[in-house]
Amino acid sequence: MSPEQAELSALDVDTRSDIYSLGVLLYELLTGTTPFSEEELRNAGYIEMQRIIREHEPPKPSTKLSTLGQTLTDIAKYRGSTPELLTKAIRGDLDWIVMKSLEKDRFRRYETANGLAMDIQRHLEHEPVLARGSSTIYRYHKFLQRHRSQVIVALAIAFVFSGVTVILSMWNRDRFQLAEAEGMRHRNILSQAREYVAKANYTEALEIAKSILRSKHVGPEAQLLYAGILVEGRKPDEAVTMLEVLLNDRPEIAGAAHSLLARILWESDSPDNETLKKVNEYRQKAEELLPDTAKAYFLRAMTAITVKEQLTLLDRALQLDPAHYESRRLRAFIYNASRKYEKMKEDALVMAVLQPLDPLGYSLRAIALRELGKHTEAIAEYDRAIALTPKEDMKYIDLATQRCEVFLRMGDYERLISEAEACQKLSPDKPASVEGVPPSNRGQDARDTQDFSNLQYHIFSALTAMGNYDQATTLFQQIINPGHEARKRFMDWCAKYIFDTLEAGRSWHPVDREPAGAAFLPMVEAEEIYNQLSTKAKRMITDGFTARYSPDGKKIAFSTGFFGYSGLALYDVETSQTDLLIVPGKDPSWSPDGRYLAFVRDCPVLPMPEFASAERINRHRGYEEEEVWIMNADGTEPRRLATGGWPSWSSDAKHIYYQSSGDNKLYKMSVESGDSNPQALIPCSDRLLAISPNEKYVAYLEGQVLRIVELSSQKVVAEPNLPFRIQGKIWSLDSRELCFGSLKSTHSTNIRVGLWTYDLEQGQPKQVLEAPVHATSLASDGTRMLFNVQDPYFEIWEANFDPNVSFLQALGPGQTLDEHLREMVAFYTRRIKADPQDAYAYSGRADCYDCLHERKKVSADMRRWSAILSGVSSLASQVAEIRKIRRIISVPLDYQIVFSAERPVNEISLLNVAFGQKGRCNMKTFQIPILSTRNLAMSLLGLCLLSGLDAPYAQASFTFGVPENLESVIPVIDPAHELIGCLSYDELEIYITSNRPGGSGNYDLWVLRRASTDDNWDSPENLGPAINSPKSDQPSSISSDG
């Protein structure tokens, strides 16, 4: 009975009552009992039974089974199952189907028996039944039941896939972590290499960068850095190969590669117009590709031609990244070279903050403070830099020497001596010095190449300033003991020190006690030169040469630095401020309209750090490398004009005169056309020629003769023969008078050949200033003149005088050549009296005697010079005049025997016998005492073997041909600064002594070669460290077998 039937209401009974009956039947089939207990219904009355059917909810079949107890076992057994499995099978869909069929509300039952059957069918097919509802979880559960095998297979596959995925993921994670670790390690290596580059330690940087060139993390960056180091090390070929590959990399790498390629072309030897065009193309491409970053602007700054462009790019780089160390470092060096010490001090401070363990920032700041006169602060910065520098590092001695310089300026002499002596104790064996090598170029040399000589100079100056003359004299002997080169270096240093000291208003010795003796003579001579210059001129620039007034006289263009390491700069006369224009550069010349500057570049490139730290010595480069350039007066738009040197302008500012070392001629060319069509004017081998303001005359040196030639007719107007090499010639405004200095060809220093004038009408040269100077420029109004004070001073002085009088009247009174020579004899005699072992004082005096035609005195002084250099005692060198006994006997095989007799003062006469090959300078000699003329033959035969081979070399006789100018024959050498040692027997090699850049020390041995005697000589080649030492190596001779 269904609930609606039990109500006995008027409600129609339909098929849903049958559904209820089917539900009861299904209930009984599943559980073995009816929904309501039969016993319960029998015990209840009819009315109660109806109420139960209407109101009570029967338990679910699965719940009913749990109440059957032991009966459940029988029921399960009849159904071929167990109680647990039967209960589990019924629980769920069958519970829902049965309970839906037994709903009290017939509207919630199945509509038809077919609906019930379909739901049961769904249950059997593991599909969702309608009686339960359609939750996602339920539907998913039915799906799994329906596709159990497929799901199991899928799950198995998914599990395997998941396992593989997890394993691969872990492997990839490990690979990624390893790659990250490797990338971090490579980036650290790259960073370390960059730090070494920032410290200019390129050798270490190359070794470190080489290990990561093929890195997939930083490979392009490492290759770019490596190529940059090669460019810095002048190895462009290998760098080009690497950079060309990087041109196809990402924009920032490709842009940097273009920038470096532009620099390589720019630094190539004598770039022509086609090369310069290619340079601009690379630079433009770099500008397009490089991002707006500090590194990009720094790279562009490295290829900038002018200093003004460099500073603009570096300023932009530091605006983008104030912590970009390389930009800070380069700008600090530029400020140092430009004498802008306030700005240099600030950049150096930031450098020290960015890299507190690098001594460079502290040392640069110390230099700036020193030049600003803040000595106490400078000492503190030097202390920090020295504390960070290993004692075995060459820079340690350099920094200690610079600190001693500050002590010297402060007058703290006792501390200077204490600190300097402490540094010297670092090497108890007193190692050899590194002469002529700038500190920035020495690298990490071994301890046995450290140079302590500058420390000795400072100690000597401190002892002298304190009046400890005996100790100073003892130290002087130690300083000059290595030989003449050591003496010359000491004299050069003293000369500059005296100028600086006197200019600062200090005395170099106690005012109440004058020093005396050879040790102090260089300082006495330097003071005399300073005082003489000060009476007629004032000191303007302390590190420069070849100065020129601008047409309005407000600025001075000059070569800043020293020979071989110079740049072009402008000095403002009113503000005393210096602006560096371009490096390298020298010998400027203003156009008459003041719009342009012509100048000379003597090498393709000169790195700013190397230029800023160059040592104060003469390191002339070969003239064949020089090129004439032109730029705007504000330091922009430079361009190459021609191969040559010493430019000067025509009065119309349309043409430039220059001297070419290729064919030794004076040329005139149009500024617009460049060197495409230069006009050869006259043969001229003198680099330092002077064109008169009216362009009528040219003055130049031909051998020892000053030649003044009329340009239009090439007629020689005047040809005074002077016994010294002339340089630094300028004309008076009316083109009637020539003022010139001189360069004495001698090994001595501070030679006061002086400043001379020559009037075309009077025809008599006169000396007007006795100092190592030459005139370089006359102001356009004729009221001021600039002088170069030659090396070791490298200074520019200015004299004021009346433009209405001649040079002689303005600078005089003058003296004649003979008067000057007599004065120089007295000068050298004073040196000899102070130090009888000063060999080159004898040779200098002999030069003067030679000009005065006093041949006997020449011979006597040269013998003393030779005796001192060969180690013969001073007593043996005190010879008088040579007797007339001198004969030569020619023997077979082109050999000669040379006899020469001489009588030393108060000694026994000697017979010198020399034997050797004719034409060779060195011959084996014997020295035989002559007891009397009667036993001369006996002396010759009996004492020859007993005398030994210790006597000095003699010279065989041979005949010289007509002299030729050496530079015209071998243009690749500079006779003014290089010495020829010997010529090989096959005449295919010449060995010279030169201090040109690229050597191992100060003066090195070089060789010139040619394929045959008809060919030209190749450029000099350094013989290398196997022959050359870090010190000076003097002229050589070749053995007879070659």
Residue at which a domain ends, from 795, 815, 835: 815
Both tokens of residue 442? 């020495």
- State the Cα–Cα distance between residues 534 and 505, nearest whole angstrom: 13
Residue 967 lies in a domain: no
User: Is 873 in the same domain as 942?
Assistant: yes
- Asked if 435 and 1030 touch (Cβ cutoff 8 Å), the reply is yes
Residue (of 821, 822, 802) closest to 812 by Cα position: 802
Task: Pick the most confident of 211-220, 628-637, 927-936.
Answer: 628-637
Mean pLDDT value of segment 198-203: 70
User: Is 748 in the same domain as 829?
Assistant: no
Provide the pLDDT confidence category of residue 927 given band limits of 50, 70 and 90: low
CATH number at residue 10: 1.10.510.10
Residue (of 920, 914, 912) closest to 894 by Cα position: 920
* DSSP letter string, 217-263: TTHHHHHHHHHHHHHHTT-HHHHHHHHHHHTTS-HHHHHHHHHHHHH
pLDDT digits (tens, 9 = 90+) for 943-970: 444 444 444 444 444 455 666 667 667 8
- The predicted pLDDT at position 1000 comes to 67
Residue with more model confidence, 606 or 789:
789
- State the Cα–Cα distance between residues 387 and 379, nearest whole angstrom: 12
User: Is 426 in the same domain as 496?
Assistant: yes
Provide the pLDDT confidence category of residue 225 given band limits of 50, 70 and 90: confident
Residue 1007 lies in a domain: yes
Q: In what order do the strands lie in the sheet with 690-691?
A: 690-691, 697-702, 705-710, 715-718
pLDDT at 907 over 50: no
The helix/strand/coil state of 934 is coil
User: Is 543 in the same domain as 688?
Assistant: yes
Handedness of CA 451, 543, 798, 501 (dihedral sign): negative
- The predicted pLDDT at position 906 comes to 38
- The predicted pLDDT at position 162 comes to 86
- The predicted pLDDT at position 918 comes to 57
pLDDT digits (tens, 9 = 90+) for 674-722: 556 888 999 988 888 899 999 999 998 887 788 899 998 999 999 887 7
E strand segments, 606-654: 627-632, 639-643, 645-649
- Polymer length of the chain: 1042
CATH number at residue 651: 2.130.10.10
pLDDT at 45 over 70: yes
pLDDT digits (tens, 9 = 90+) for 361-410: 999 999 999 999 999 999 999 999 999 999 888 889 899 999 999 999 99
User: Is 702 in the same domain as 609?
Assistant: yes
Task: Pick the most confident of 333-337, 391-395, 1005-1009.
Answer: 333-337
User: Is 746 in the same domain as 886?
Assistant: no
- The predicted pLDDT at position 709 comes to 92
Provide the pLDDT confidence category of residue 587 given band limits of 50, 70 and 90: very high
pLDDT cut 90: percent of the chain above it: 28
Q: For the ranges 6-10, 613-617, 823-827, which has the lowest average pLDDT?
A: 6-10
User: How many CB atoms within 10 Å of residue 9?
Assistant: 9
- State the Cα–Cα distance between residues 307 and 535, nearest whole angstrom: 37
User: Is 719 in the same domain as 783?
Assistant: yes
Residue with more model confidence, 265 or 478:
478
- The predicted pLDDT at position 946 comes to 41
Residue 714 lies in a domain: yes
Q: What are phi and psi of 1022, to 5 degrees?
A: -70, 140
- Asked if 871 and 837 touch (Cβ cutoff 8 Å), the reply is no
User: How many CB atoms within 10 Å of residue 353?
Assistant: 11
User: Is 889 in the same domain as 1019?
Assistant: no
Residue 320 lies in a domain: no
Residue 202 lies in a domain: no
Provide the pLDDT confidence category of residue 93 given band limits of 50, 70 and 90: confident
Q: For the ranges 332-346, 597-611, 916-930, which has the lowest average pLDDT?
A: 916-930
pLDDT at 434 over 60: no
Mean pLDDT value of segment 1011-1019: 83
pTM over 0.95: no
- Asked if 460 and 476 touch (Cβ cutoff 8 Å), the reply is yes
* 949, burial (CB in 10 Å: exposed 0-12, middle 13-18, buried 19+): exposed
Provide the pLDDT confidence category of residue 916 given band limits of 50, 70 and 90: low
Residue 662 lies in a domain: yes
Give the β-pairing of 924-929 and 910-917.
antiparallel
- State the Cα–Cα distance between residues 561 and 581, nearest whole angstrom: 13
Residue at which a domain ends, from 758, 787, 815: 815
User: Is 755 in the same domain as 673?
Assistant: yes
Mean pLDDT value of segment 734-758: 72
Task: Pick the most confident of 235-239, 618-622, 710-714, 906-910.
Answer: 710-714
Residue 48 lies in a domain: yes
Residue at which a domain ends, from 495, 521, 547: 521
- The predicted pLDDT at position 190 comes to 86
Provide the pLDDT confidence category of residue 144 given band limits of 50, 70 and 90: confident
- The predicted pLDDT at position 429 comes to 45
pLDDT digits (tens, 9 = 90+) for 177-200: 888 888 888 888 888 887 777 666
Task: Pick the most confident of 578-592, 660-674, 852-866.
Answer: 578-592
> How many Å from the N-terminal Cα to the C-terminal Cα in the chain?
142
> What domain range is 723 assigned to?
537-815
Residue with more model confidence, 485 or 467:
467
Mean pLDDT value of segment 798-827: 88
* 672, burial (CB in 10 Å: exposed 0-12, middle 13-18, buried 19+): exposed
Residue with more model confidence, 231 or 629:
629
pLDDT digits (tens, 9 = 90+) for 839-893: 888 988 988 898 888 989 998 988 888 888 766 443 333 333 333 344 566 666 5
Provide the pLDDT confidence category of residue 448 given band limits of 50, 70 and 90: very low
- The predicted pLDDT at position 302 comes to 79
- Asked if 525 and 518 touch (Cβ cutoff 8 Å), the reply is no
* pLDDT, averaged across the chain: 81
Provide the pLDDT confidence category of residue 137 given band limits of 50, 70 and 90: confident
Residue with more model confidence, 349 or 902:
349
- The predicted pLDDT at position 631 comes to 93
- State the Cα–Cα distance between residues 670 and 192, nearest whole angstrom: 52
User: Is 417 in the same domain as 501?
Assistant: yes
Give the β-pairing of 895-904 and 879-891.
antiparallel
Sequence-separated (6 or more) residues with CB below 8 Å from residue 967: 623, 661, 664, 685, 973, 974, 975
pLDDT cut 70: percent of the chain above it: 83
Q: What is the dihedral of CA 714, 718, 724, 727, to 10 degrees?
A: -60
Residue 291 lies in a domain: no
Residue with more model confidence, 249 or 889:
249
Establish how many alpha carbons lie within 13 A of residue 776's alpha carbon, considering only the half-sphere containing its beta carbon. Answer: 29
User: Is 759 in the same domain as 673?
Assistant: yes
Q: How many domains does the chain have?
A: 5
User: Is 464 in the same domain as 512?
Assistant: yes
For 89, 119, 528, the CA distances from 125, given in Å and listed in that order, are 14, 10, 126
